[in-house]
Amino acid sequence: MVLFRRLLGEVLRAQRLERGMTLREVSAEARVSLGYISEVERGQKEASSELLASLCSALDVALSDVLRDVSDAVALEEATILRMPVRAAADAAAA
């Protein structure tokens, strides 16, 4: 199962690291607790639209870019999941 919140967290973390920012810096800029941002990055908490807008602003990245990256990651995971049953069936037939 594809978890949007996990992939969103991975994209946000990658954006933060790409900019060389610490969680503390993003926290101060976004005015969101460091712990909450950490949980979002780890896919443990859902990000509201307001929180996501604050994080994107703090990271100086367009929301559309973040959502596009997450959408691409979702598509890759879905493709992997959809191929799994085909591989398993092919392996079973070959055995």
Task: Please name each of the domains of the chain with its CATH number.
Answer: 4-94 (1.10.260.40)
CA distance linking residue 11 with residue 17, whole number of Å: 10
Residue 32 three-state SS = coil
What pLDDT band is residue 91 in, cutting at 50, 70 and 90? low
Is residue 20 left, alpha or beta, with left meaning phi > 0 and alpha meaning psi from -120 to 50? left
Higher pLDDT, 32 or 86: 32
Q: What is the pLDDT averaged over residues 35-53?
A: 97
- Between CA 62 and CA 58 the distance in angstroms is 10
Instruction: Kindly report the pTM of this predicted structure.
Output: 0.84
2 contacts 81 by C-beta, under 8 angstroms: yes
